[in-house]
Structure 1
Amino acid sequence: MTPEQLSATIVDVLQALVADGTLTLPDGVPATVNVERPRQKEHGDYATNVALQLGKKAGMNPRAFAELVAAKLGESEGVKQVDIAGPGFLNIFVEAGAQGEVAAAIVAAGPAYGRLETLAGQRINVEFISANPTGPLHLGHTRWAVLGDAIGRVLSAAGAEVTREFYINDRGVQMNNFAKSIIASALGEETPEDGYAGGYIDDLAKLVEEAQPGIFQLKGDERVAAVREVGYAIQLKEQQETLERFNTHFDVWFSELSLHEEGQETGGVPHTLARLKDLGHVYEEGGALWMRTTDFGDDKDRVLIKSDGELTYFASDTAYYLNKRARGFDHCIYLLGADHHGYVNRLKAMASCVGDDPAQTLDVMIGQLVKILRDGQELKLSKRAGTIVTLNELAEEIGVDALRYSLARYPADSPLVLDVAEITKASNDNPVYYVQYAHARTCRMIANAGDLGMSLGAAVDAFDPSLLAHERDGELLRALAAYPGVVASAAELREPHRIARYLEDTASTFNKWYDTKECRMLPQGDEPAGPANFSRLVLVNAMQTVLRNGLDLLGVSAPERM
């Protein structure tokens, strides 16, 4: 019996009590009630505070309310015992057979276990990397490459239609500086002021020449324009390939420059400015055009067009938001760096200025910086100075799985220091190793069962959930049953670290089960496999399914051997 199933059973009990006049609930029976695992196992398999939530609404003392529910709930199929604690908490014990059915349900669902419909019908845009196409992706992009991708995965698992979007900062003077830097390298000249240096620029110069022989013999603006276009295409492709190797996928690579081109009728800058004027939220002052964001909580109004006629980045940001909304997204999630705290209020005010309710259409998440240590020294980066630590280098040295998992297991708003030696260590002290090893252990156990002629098909046919009656069986089953709820909360709160911490706790529960001789899956000696062995083979397969599904939500592999 899963928490969701027990919640539904309690709702049925409430409806029955209301129907026969035993209870009166003016607001009606809720669609779901909160069911959770108690901290202390002697308090039952599950607990609910439904009596505390509804007692006063029913005009009753919560404990008296709990007594009515407990009596009726105790008659329900699969419920063994219901105790009342304190002011009205219900501690619920379930039958071993009802609990054991969870294992068969997980195996039957396979990859679909933990996939929900809680966000079905929602179209969500997640923008989680915004970078110039002027160099390799680096350490500064790494945390969002992991968290943004994982957030997209958990939102999809919760039923949302998710688009993962990369915002290409391809408009502005940096693009000409990029081209001039490549030209200087090709001609053996010094890097221009505000240009880009480093070995990657020298490599780009060679690739640009190979892509378009003779390009550096062009003159003046024609040469700058040509090199900018070719260099941009090469560098952007390199960023795309880097992210795919890092197991981070984007559905859309959106060009900032496109917002300023003709043809953007509903999502371009000209349309945006016209709409803002129609809504009455812009004004002119000092020769500049301003958006009156202070009307909606911003600390100051924002410039859209400077007095010299130049468009600001905020004009692009506003147009980009409207472009997303015009493409049909109900909700837009922004993942921004630690130096963007000031953007939260201005983006919310901007959404209000264009007629939206930001509480319904906008989430702005701010991530803290990551420091990575090697031999006690922090890895430094500086794209312009050329001492860049690239994402490719990090992934190669640390490993994609170790780096992704280590970044995913912490909340985005917590500063993070990772030590290369610690996160690459092959020991149970390393969380990613611990979880992956648990999966590898299930694979080995299933393979050993196969060597004895114990197939999963035969185990499912012979499955008797009542035989999973040991205390350790129950602990593991309750942990596995909690997985869908963890996915739901991770999606709702945009916190994929909940998946990682759940996997670690569940791997620990599995290892304790594995070390319990009364829970052996394989028969001993020459004994034939019995019903209990087959039932525990189903349980191990269920464990394998949950680990594999959970690791997939983090973009981390589930190895069969370690």
Structure 2
Amino acid sequence: MDPEELSAALLTVVAPLVEARREGASAALTASDLPMERPKNREHGDWASNAALKLAKIAGANPRELAAEIAEGLRAVDGVASVEVAGPGFINIRLDAAAAGSLARAIVEAGAAFGTNSSRVDEIINLEFVSANPTGPIHLGGTRWAAVGDSLARILSSQGAAVTREYYFNDHGSQIDRFARSLVAAHEGLPAPEDGYGGGYILDIARRVALAYDGDLAALSPEDRQEVFRSMGVAFMFDEIKASLHDFGVDFDVYFHENDLHDSGAVERAVTRLRDLGHIYESDGAIWLRTTEFGDDKDRVVIKSDGQPAYISGDLAYYLDKRERGFNRCIIMLGADHHGYVRRLMAMTAAFGDEPGVNLQILIGQMVNLVREGQPMRMSKRAGTVVTMEDLVEIVGVDAARYSLARSSADSNLDIDLDVLQKRTNDNPVFYVQYAHARTHNVARNAAASGVDRSEFAPELLQHETESALLGALQEYPRTVAFAAEVREPHRIARYLEELAGLYHRWYDNCRVIPLGDDPIEPVHRTRLWLNDATGQVLRNGLDLLGVSAPERM
């Protein structure tokens, strides 16, 4: 019996009890109104529910009395071994061994679909992440967003959402001018401008531009020469960024160019829309958006008095463009240095008549520090000593890099110990999980060689305490994925996988799939093979959500 089946059974018991106390008036209950969770102490049962506490008020009942009535009804449900009432009205449910063990077969038969559902089918999501400026290689902050963003896209898609991965290509503004001047200086053998970019990559790009340009650069005016290096240099740099992301397992559906907003009239359309909604006014020769009406600390200039668009103008145009493309959820991942933008972006959302936190969601990511031999690795893009995505991958590999960046909450600072990630031991969390998956395949190979197959399934035989614990964790996988999607936190998948791997290793140490010596093959061995393969499937499904490989041998 899986959690959904138990929730449905709980609903069939609870609904008539509540309605009877309401003299036949429906409470319009659904399974989602009856939360269940795994007890921290497994001696209390397989599942616990606070349904009686939650519903006591609308039922006009004493919580413990209502819990007793619910418990009595649940005891008659097939697959339920016992039900107890604890404290002020908590309900502890224990399944019989066959009902609990049946999950192993259900997982194997579901395969890659286990843990997926269509609960978010109405969500059309634009997920914007990385969006690093094309002025240099992707640094560690962008690398973290690549790992977290791609994992989040996979998780949301697994729950039925239609997700478009989008990269905002920042090819407009002063940073591009500084980049172009830096390339020209490198081409001419001069030091980088004081406000420019340094590093070997600048010289490499400058050389590529010089080789690819069909003409005489020296014959161009300074302005035309800089424009050549700007356009071609940005293109070359962005090609490198896309290649690095692809090698990291991250590809985008849309690369949106900032220049298009200014060239297409999108800013003017956004201003017109907001003016029609009554939120635009003019003062001191500038055009303002009245964001203070929506919680901002001050109104924002959209078009400056000299007629030039202010920074927020691009945000207005870009958000409206996304909504006009049909997205009802716009998720943007930003670095910690953008925290101050959140309030104004939410005010902008409300000004368009949308719901902040629903139509637009902002995720803030914190800094990443690499540590080697106990010392932090210093970085500075402009000094040319930036630690890049390629550097991290070269040191630890794609799997370890992605996993380590996705396994911690993105809104907390992260220190990555490179010495640990290079170890092939259980101290390395990605190795620990991958090794558990490889071990399930090794068990299956040895079982096949010994004549143990899945021709028989007797779930009532899965009675060892490590089997109960392993089945309990496997039951939690769909709920874990669904919650990770709801709160936009991929790290919950990684932490779950580490717990599951630990429970599997303990089960492996206590329960044999292959008979000992000349002992005969019994139903329990074949049934345990189902449990072994089910664990491997869940580990594989979870690793795939993180974009990490699930090796069959290690």
- Structure 1: how far apart are the matches of 2:19 and 2:136? 67
Q: Counterpart amino acid of 1:13? A: V
Deviations 1:376-428 (A, max 9, x none): 33222222222221111111112222122112111111112222112322221
Tell me by how many angstroms 1:374 deviates: 1.8
Q: Counterpart amino acid of 2:72? A: A
Greater Cα offset, 67-76 or 171-180: 171-180
Greater Cα offset, 123-132 or 106-115: 123-132
Tell me by how many angstroms 1:145 deviates: 1.2
Question: In structure 2, which of residues 537, 549, 554 is the aligned counterpart of residue 557 of structure 1?
Answer: 549
In the TM superposition, 1:42-121 aligns within 5 A as 42-121=43-122
In the TM superposition, 1:29-48 aligns within 5 A as 29-32=29-32, 33-48=34-49
What secondary structure, in the 3-state scheme, does the structure 2 residue paired with 1:304 have? strand
Contact 1:26/1:58 (CA < 8 Å) preserved in 2? Answer: no
Question: In structure 1, which of residues 310, 313, 320 is the aligned counterpart of residue 311 of structure 2?
Answer: 313
Indicate the residue corresponding to 1:162 in structure 2: 163
Check if 1:509 corresponds to 2:503.
Answer: yes
Instruction: Flag the 1:218–1:84 CA change in 2: closer, same or farther, 3 A.
Output: farther
Question: In structure 1, which of residues 217, 231, 234 is the aligned counterpart of residue 233 of structure 2?
Answer: 231
Tell me by how many angstroms 1:361 deviates: 0.6
Q: CA RMSD in A?
A: 1.7
- Structure 1: how far apart are the matches of 2:60 and 2:114? 40
Indicate the residue corresponding to 2:341 in structure 1: 343
Q: Counterpart amino acid of 1:359? A: G
Tell me by how many angstroms 1:21 deviates: 7.1
Indicate the residue corresponding to 2:468 in structure 1: 474
Instruction: Flag the 1:50–1:215 CA change in 2: closer, same or farther, 3 A.
Output: farther
- Structure 2: how far apart are the matches of 1:215 and 1:231? 16
Q: Counterpart amino acid of 2:74? A: L
- Structure 2: how far apart are the matches of 1:88 and 1:163? 45
- Structure 2: how far apart are the matches of 1:49 and 1:312? 52
Indicate the residue corresponding to 2:301 in structure 1: 303
Deviations 1:68-117 (A, max 9, x none): 11111101111111111111111111111111110011001111111122
Instruction: Flag the 1:325–1:521 CA change in 2: closer, same or farther, 3 A.
Output: same
Contact 1:121/1:160 (CA < 8 Å) preserved in 2? Answer: yes
Deviations 1:351-378 (A, max 9, x none): 1112212133111111111111122332
Tell me by how many angstroms 1:174 deviates: 2.3
Contact 2:129/2:146 (CA < 8 Å) preserved in 1? Answer: yes
Instruction: Flag the 1:289–1:63 CA change in 2: closer, same or farther, 3 A.
Output: same
Q: Counterpart amino acid of 1:401? A: D
- Structure 1: how far apart are the matches of 2:365 and 2:27? 40
Q: Which runs of 5+ in 2 are unaligned?
A: none
- Structure 2: how far apart are the matches of 1:505 and 1:189? 55
Check if 1:361 corresponds to 2:343.
Answer: no
Question: In structure 2, which of residues 452, 458, 465 is the aligned counterpart of residue 464 of structure 1?
Answer: 458
Instruction: Flag the 1:509–1:24 CA change in 2: closer, same or farther, 3 A.
Output: farther
Deviations 1:130-186 (A, max 9, x none): 221121111231211111111111111111111111111100132233223222222
Deviations 1:301-358 (A, max 9, x none): 1111222222122100111111110111111111111111211110000111122121
Instruction: Flag the 1:114–1:556 CA change in 2: closer, same or farther, 3 A.
Output: same
Q: Which runs of 5+ in 1 are unaligned?
A: none
- Structure 1: how far apart are the matches of 2:449 and 2:216? 64
- Structure 2: how far apart are the matches of 1:146 and 1:228? 29
Contact 2:209/2:233 (CA < 8 Å) preserved in 1? Answer: yes
Indicate the residue corresponding to 1:396 in structure 2: 394
Tell me by how many angstroms 1:16 deviates: 4.4
What secondary structure, in the 3-state scheme, does the structure 1 residue paired with 2:272 have? helix
Indicate the residue corresponding to 2:483 in structure 1: 489
- Structure 2: how far apart are the matches of 1:23 and 1:423? 62
Q: Counterpart amino acid of 1:521? A: V
- Structure 2: how far apart are the matches of 1:365 and 1:185? 37
- Structure 2: how far apart are the matches of 1:50 and 1:271? 51
Check if 1:352 corresponds to 2:350.
Answer: yes
Tell me by how many angstroms 1:218 deviates: 4.6
Tell me by how many angstroms 1:60 deviates: 0.8
- Structure 2: how far apart are the matches of 1:446 and 1:212? 58
Contact 2:181/2:226 (CA < 8 Å) preserved in 1? Answer: yes
Indicate the residue corresponding to 1:322 in structure 2: 320
What secondary structure, in the 3-state scheme, does the structure 2 residue paired with 1:57 have? helix
Check if 1:544 corresponds to 2:520.
Answer: no
Instruction: Flag the 1:18–1:195 CA change in 2: closer, same or farther, 3 A.
Output: closer
What secondary structure, in the 3-state scheme, does the structure 2 residue paired with 1:298 have? coil
Q: Counterpart amino acid of 1:137? A: I
- Structure 2: how far apart are the matches of 1:409 and 1:436? 14
Indicate the residue corresponding to 1:375 in structure 2: 373
Q: Counterpart amino acid of 2:508? A: Y
Check if 1:153 corresponds to 2:118.
Answer: no
Taking only the aligned residue pairs, the percentage that are identical comes to 52
TM-score by length of structure 1 reads 0.95
Q: Counterpart amino acid of 2:239? A: K
Deviations 1:463-520 (A, max 9, x none): 121121222211111110110000010000011111111111111111111111xx21
Q: Counterpart amino acid of 2:335? A: G
Contact 2:22/2:59 (CA < 8 Å) preserved in 1? Answer: no
Indicate the residue corresponding to 1:252 in structure 2: 254
Contact 1:17/1:23 (CA < 8 Å) preserved in 2? Answer: no
Tell me by how many angstroms 1:286 deviates: 2.1
Indicate the residue corresponding to 2:196 in structure 1: 195
Tell me by how many angstroms 1:273 deviates: 1.4
Q: Counterpart amino acid of 1:162? A: V
- Structure 2: how far apart are the matches of 1:534 and 1:22? 50
Contact 1:186/1:205 (CA < 8 Å) preserved in 2? Answer: yes
Contact 1:215/1:223 (CA < 8 Å) preserved in 2? Answer: no
Contact 1:276/1:282 (CA < 8 Å) preserved in 2? Answer: yes
Equivalent pairs counted in the alignment come to 552
Contact 1:139/1:381 (CA < 8 Å) preserved in 2? Answer: no
Instruction: Flag the 1:208–1:23 CA change in 2: closer, same or farther, 3 A.
Output: farther
Greater Cα offset, 58-67 or 173-182: 173-182
What secondary structure, in the 3-state scheme, does the structure 2 residue paired with 1:414 have? coil
- Structure 1 moving runs of 4+ over 4 Å: 18-26
Instruction: Flag the 1:214–1:198 CA change in 2: closer, same or farther, 3 A.
Output: farther
Indicate the residue corresponding to 1:421 in structure 2: 419
Tell me by how many angstroms 1:19 deviates: 7.0
Indicate the residue corresponding to 1:7 in structure 2: 7
Deviations 1:210-260 (A, max 9, x none): 333435245123332232222222111110110111122221111111111
